[in-house]
Structure 1
Amino acid sequence: MLKEHTREQIQKAIYEVLSENLFVPVGVSNRHVHVDQATCDILFGKGHGLTVKAPVKQKGQFAANEKVDLVSPKGRIEGVRILGPVRSANQVEVSLADARALRLNVPIRDSGDHSGTPGITLVGPQGSVTIDKGVIVAARHIHVPSDLAKQYGIVDGQIAEVDIGGQRGLRYKNVLLRVREDFALEMHLDVEEANAAGLKNGDFARVIL
């Protein structure tokens, strides 16, 4: 009887711990580009539609077969993949190391926040487009579906910390939580951030709320 009671207590304690912690899968993002349709037309030809190489976790999004070169006044990175579908605005997401290679002063920003960001030239097989802004180092963030956000009391724009275990364990600070109904739960890190903790796609991290 004592053993059964103890077992129930242990199970309850485990449930309480798990319910108070939010574990999220990690998605590691390499440098990539978002383009609007007008830019896509110039880079790849009038009326060109981006073609799917592989879907990504977020609904309706995919890694496209199409690639472009990034050209700054003092640097160049070739073969940068486009992430589809086409967007309402152009955006280039690079790492801090990429920014140094391009010799650009690139700020860390949330997606879509282009104020004060540098521009760059996108070179495709059919033409090139120079954008006057939109190059960012993406702020580390977590996509949270609305139902899960409600369960954990998370609001859009909230800032959290994230713990990583293992031999290269660390704690990420200033992690932006983004909430939307159609989001799939996933933490987005760039390659440099992931390498610092020895993370790969599909690993799990614990959110400190």
Structure 2
Amino acid sequence: MNEQAIMQIVNDVIAELLPKKQAALKQNEIPIGISARHIHLKQEHVEHLFGKGASLTVQKVLTQPGQFAANETVQVVGPKGSITNVRILGPARTLTQVEISHTDAITLGIQPPLRESGDIEGSASCTLVGPRGSFVLQEGVIIAQAHIHMTPDDAQYLGVQNGQFVSVKVQGRRPITFEQVKIRVAHHYQLEMHIDTDEANAGFIQQGVTGTLITDKMEEKSLHKLPSTAIEMNEKIITAKDLSHYQGKTVLVPKNARLTALATETVEKLGIELQFHEKG
């Protein structure tokens, strides 16, 4: 499948989804995509791993225009372990980058930094093994920072700008709010927030759910609309016992508060809504 055919398929999908997108934007709703471990390769590295003259072939077209999951996979090797069948995303890029979760990093025995895609200077290393060769990637392994792709029109409608950090609140069995989510704006982007598998598992999030975008101004406004029954806590470490009497309540906690594992389960079990704020 050539690039022109890929673009046509993507444009058809976008046209079909446009009415749903417009309705969602009115509610500040952002579709969420779960990004599993994957690799971007330079063309020279494609050929090193798969043979001279090799190129990536399309397995599945992705949401972002022009991007696809390739049929080709490689093995990622670290000091303590390895991960097989790691998918390559195409087309070939100008740099080679491996994006993994924190759990993957533990398996491999490396410590990649939390970075925006493309910022690989001084990042972690690994060995990549393909069917026709292998090499040591001296730097390029990162844990990708949560981010939202959007067009300039989307950004204008939502009142945000490229490089801005926002929060995204996701309701569900385990309500969770992602902070320091970076806005990335370009004409060719499709509106979607990207998180990794660890982040998705933390909130019981499945592919395609939506979250509500919250800027500092929106958050400040929402705090003034808290229900009169809201309970405020100032503890930095919140336990299940702290929450045990607040079934169905809204609990306001400091932004830097941490919940124990049992406290997180209690939030879900008792239907508690947590709202985080800057103490001041």
The alignment's TM-score, normalised by the length of structure 1, stands at 0.89
Higher relative contact order (CA 8 A, sep 6+): 1
> Equivalents in 2 of 1:115, 1:37: separation in Å?
20
* Amino acid aligned to 1:97: T
> Contact 1:21 / 1:208 at 8 angstroms: preserved in 2?
no
> Equivalents in 2 of 1:129, 1:150: separation in Å?
44
1:133 paired residue number: 139
1:28 paired residue number: 34
Higher strand share: 1
Q: 1:167 offset after TM fit, Å?
A: 1.9
Between 19-28 and 51-60, report the one with greater CA deviation: 19-28
> Equivalents in 2 of 1:129, 1:88: separation in Å?
17
* Amino acid aligned to 2:165: I
1:13 paired residue number: none
* Amino acid aligned to 1:88: T
Matching residue within 110, 116, 124 for 2:130 = 124
Q: 1:19 offset after TM fit, Å?
A: 6.6
Q: Deviations over 1:116-168 (max 9, x none)?
A: 21111110000012111010000011101111112222111100001111221
1:11 paired residue number: none
> Equivalents in 2 of 1:90, 1:137: separation in Å?
14
RMSD: 1.2
* Amino acid aligned to 1:165: Q
> Equivalents in 1 of 2:140, 2:25: separation in Å?
39
* Amino acid aligned to 1:202: G
Matching residue within 166, 170, 181 for 1:175 = 181
> Equivalents in 2 of 1:93, 1:45: separation in Å?
23
Matching residue within 173, 193, 209 for 1:187 = 193
**Runs of 4+ off more than 2 Å:** 18-21
* Amino acid aligned to 1:193: E
1:37 paired residue number: 43
Q: Any gaps of 5 or more consecutive residues in structure 2?
A: 1-23, 216-280
1:161 paired residue number: 167
1:150 paired residue number: 156
1:204 paired residue number: 210
Quick one: structure 1 residues 19 and 36, their matched pair in 2 at CA, closer, same or farther if it must change by over 3 Å?
Answer: closer
Residue 66 of structure 2 corresponds to residue 60 of structure 1? yes
**Secondary structure of the equivalent of 2:89?**
strand
Number of residue pairs the alignment of both structures matches: 192
